[in-house]
Amino acid sequence: MIEDVTQPLDVSRLGDARVDFNGSLALSWFPRLQAELAEAGGSVQAALCFARELQGRRTLSGTLSTELVLTCQRCLQPLRFPLQTRFHLALVDAGEDAGPLPDQLEAVVVDAERVDVLALLEDELLLCLPIAPRHRSEERCVAPTRHEGSSFSETEVDEKHNPFAVLRDLHVKQSPEKR
Ligand SMILES: [Zn+2]
């Protein structure tokens, strides 16, 4: 059982005991995600499972679902963004060779026995955010009128740049399986 999910958790002990967690996580517990939101309230429904696989690997798998309010990059009005993600992480000690992992398993380096699980979940949520969120309905979504000669234009929105792409690089790069 998890007493307080907001505290760093002993993932080895939880994995050995195969602990599940089902509950609601306040969006206010995710400060980096908060910075991207137009409205701060709400929560994330989480179903987590800590386990230890046959190879001794500690894993954290589960699903997260929520509805976020982002800012539309065309009309600058709030945009509701339902988010649901499923993940399966291998928790690897810093310096440890994770070895080849099955395709569906993603390695995440943890640097202590007690792990800030909320930060791991926050990474998963950030990776789901659209690069440049926009309403789908064109009628309700119109770019604000700009004065003649305004230097600002929509093309200045850099859609290719995802500020959270760096999170992918933080995950351990797996060497190709040698055969
Ligand atoms: Zn819009």
SS3 20: strand
pLDDT tens digits, 31-47:
999 999 999 899 999 99
Residue 175 belongs to a domain? no
**pLDDT for res 158:** 46
Distance 69 CA to ligand 1 centre (A): 12
Q: Decide which of 101 and 149 is more confident.
A: 101
Task: Give tens-digit pLDDT for 131-168.
Answer: 999 998 766 788 887 665 545 544 444 445 565 656 66
CA 3 to ligand 1 center in whole angstroms:
41
**Residue 179 pLDDT class (50, 70, 90 cuts):** very low
Nearest Cα to Cα of residue 22 among 45, 3, 52: 45
Q: What is the pTM of this model?
A: 0.78
The Å distance, Cα 133 to ligand 1 centre, comes to: 8
At 111-120, the pLDDT tens digits run 888 999 999 9
Q: Is residue 179 part of a domain?
A: no
Is 142 within the bounds of a domain?
no
Q: What's the CA-to-centroid distance between 131 and ligand 1, angstroms?
A: 14
- The answer to the question of residue 34 being in a domain is yes
Number of domains in the chain: 1
Residue 44 CB partners (closer than 8 Å, separation 6+): 24, 25, 26, 27, 30, 64, 65, 66, 121, 125
Distance 44 CA to ligand 1 centre (A): 24
- Domain range enclosing 106: 9-135+149-170
Residue 4 located in a structural domain: no
The answer to the question of residue 116 being in a domain is: yes
